[in-house]
């Protein structure tokens, strides 16, 4: 199972939020320095979210993310505020991001998702952010009546190969991931599922691997020193 150290960017800084709540931000410094740290610790992929763009739709951290991508030798996937063809082109073609994560638009603009998949194939991933089993959109603020597993099946049928599943209630809480829902989505679709939210121990990583997930995003636990990335990498094997 592949690990994805998380770098969430707000106002040009690397931060962590609890349950996606803006007012809970904890500052962890320069995102570019953090990317270098995770690369040095053995990361083979980075998970970057532009929090400002997720809330405003404007690519506020363009320069920081461009520098980050250029500063490392490992691939980077980026999400947050990707809402137009130009947003996608800018990230993939201009900046050289390896994979772009579509969120709200995957539900609200299915024609944009279809265009992106036709143009870029598996360089397009879809975020499935859920609360109480239902998909949430627009920076996790608005709940829908769309079941997360059903939505994953829809995405697979459209040709999406990778989804990032986040249980919002677990994110940043250090209380363990939602293993039941993760496994449910994996077994409903057999897609490449990257699990996110709640990882707090090495045992959590082993348990996520046991669900059949292909990857796992790790955030707060790494930043707070619950374990090291090399230790996490061993647990993921």
Q: How far apart, in whole angstroms, are the C-alpha atoms of residue 85 and residue 97?
A: 15
Q: How far apart, in whole angstroms, are the C-alpha atoms of residue 68 and residue 164?
A: 21
Q: What is the dihedral of CA 166, 168, 170, 174, to 10 degrees?
A: 90
Q: How far apart, in whole angstroms, are the C-alpha atoms of residue 196 and residue 185?
A: 13
DSSP lists the bridge partners of residue 27 as 15
Tokens of 68: 């980050």
- For 105, the enclosing helix (H) or strand (E) is helix 104-108
- Give residue 94's Cα distance to chain centre: 21
Catalytic residues: 8, 129
CB 15 within 8 A of CB 229: no
DSSP lists the bridge partners of residue 67 as none
């Amino acid at each position: 199972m592949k690990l994805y150290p998380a770098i969430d960017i707000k106002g040009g800084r690397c931060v962590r939020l609890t349950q996606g709540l803006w007012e809970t931000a904890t500052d962890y410094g320069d995102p570019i320095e953090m990317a270098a740290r995770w690369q040095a610790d053995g990361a083979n992929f980075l998970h970057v979210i532009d929090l400002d763009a997720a809330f405003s739709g404007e690519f506020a951290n363009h320069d920081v993310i461009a520098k980050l991508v250029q500063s490392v030798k490992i691939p980077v996937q980026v999400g947050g505020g990707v809402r137009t063809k130009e947003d996608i082109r800018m990230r993939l073609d201009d900046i050289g991001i390896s994979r772009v994560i579509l969120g709200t638009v995957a539900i609200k603009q299915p024609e944009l998702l279809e265009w992106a998949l036709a143009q870029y194939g598996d360089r397009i991933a879809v975020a499935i952010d859920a609360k109480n089993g239902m998909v949430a959109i627009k920076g996790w603020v608005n709940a829908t009546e769309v079941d997360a597993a059903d939505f994953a099946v829809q995405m697979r049928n459209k040709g999406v190969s990778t989804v990032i599943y986040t249980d919002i209630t677990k994110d940043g809480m250090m209380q363990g991931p939602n293993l039941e829902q993760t496994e449910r989505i994996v077994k409903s679709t057999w897609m490449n599922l990257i699990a996110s939210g709640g990882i707090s121990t090495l045992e959590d990583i082993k348990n996520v691997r046991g669900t059949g997930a292909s990857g796992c995003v790790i955030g707060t636990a790494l930043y707070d020193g619950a374990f090291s990335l090399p230790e996490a990498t061993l647990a993921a094997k």
